[in-house]
């Protein structure tokens, strides 16, 4: 009996929600699929600004939201580097949200591309068994068959393991 084909999913691990003070852009949400020249320029300006704030000399200016998986960009960078080195087709990403009240808001994530649902289940089980994530992350990681974002309060054990 043939097995049904594996469903390929894109899974994201949300590391933190950040905000940077950047006044110069019109307020409103960001759309990465925008087609207008002005919209593309606005999106690229915001992305470039966030990337500049992620540099080591500017990281102290990032304001972090609550319920972050990591405490700062230094820890996020370590986790992203480890992931990109150890897990095929994983990459650090920035998801722009909007510009409001002179601030650009964004999520810092790790995307795991082209995962099958079996891969996602296996990685979630390994992470949970090794105690890298809190129980609420394992409970919230519904990554079977559809894209999901996983969030938690800390990732200290995992960061200690990779340091």
Task: Tell me the per-residue pLDDT of 90-110, one tens digit each, with 9 for 90 and over.
Answer: 899 999 999 998 899 999 998
Domain presence at residue 25: yes
Return the number of other C-beta atoms located less than 10 Å from residue 159's C-beta. Answer: 18
**Considering the domain boundaries, does residue 3 fall inside one?**
no
In this predicted model, what pLDDT tens digit does every residue of 27-43 receive, in sequence order?
999 998 989 999 999 99
Q: Which of 157, 160, 150 is nearest to 109 (CA)?
A: 150
Question: Which pLDDT tens digit goes with each residue over 118-142?
Answer: 665 666 566 556 554 444 443 444 3
The number of distinct structural domains making up the chain is 1
Distance, in Å, from the CA atom of 43 to the CA atom of 133, rounded to the nearest integer, reads: 33
Q: Given this model, what pLDDT does residue 149 score? A: 37
pLDDT at position 31, please? Answer: 92
The pTM of the full predicted model, rounded to 2 decimals, is: 0.70
Domain of residue 53 covers: 8-162
Residue 92 falls inside a structural domain: yes
**Does a structural domain hold residue 1?**
no
- Mean pLDDT, residues 46-73 taken together: 91
How many residues are present in the chain? Answer: 163
């Amino acid at each position: 009996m043939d097995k049904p084909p594996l469903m390929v999913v894109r899974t994201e691990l949300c590391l933190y929600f950040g905000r940077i003070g950047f006044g110069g852009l019109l307020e409103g949400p960001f759309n990465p699929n925008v087609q207008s020249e002005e919209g593309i320029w606005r999106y690229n300006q915001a992305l470039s600004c966030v990337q500049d704030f992620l540099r080591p000399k500017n990281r102290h200016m990032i304001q972090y939201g609550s319920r972050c998986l990591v405490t700062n960009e230094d820890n996020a960078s370590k986790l992203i580097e480890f992931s990109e080195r150890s897990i095929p087709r994983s990459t650090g990403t920035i998801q722009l949200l909007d510009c409001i009240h002179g601030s650009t808001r964004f999520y810092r994530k790790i995307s795991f591309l082209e995962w099958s649902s079996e891969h996602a289940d296996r990685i979630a089980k390994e992470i949970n068994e090794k105690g890298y994530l809190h129980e609420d992350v394992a409970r919230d990681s519904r990554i079977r068959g559809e894209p999901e974002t996983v969030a938690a309060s800390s990732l200290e054990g995992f960061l200690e393991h990779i340091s």
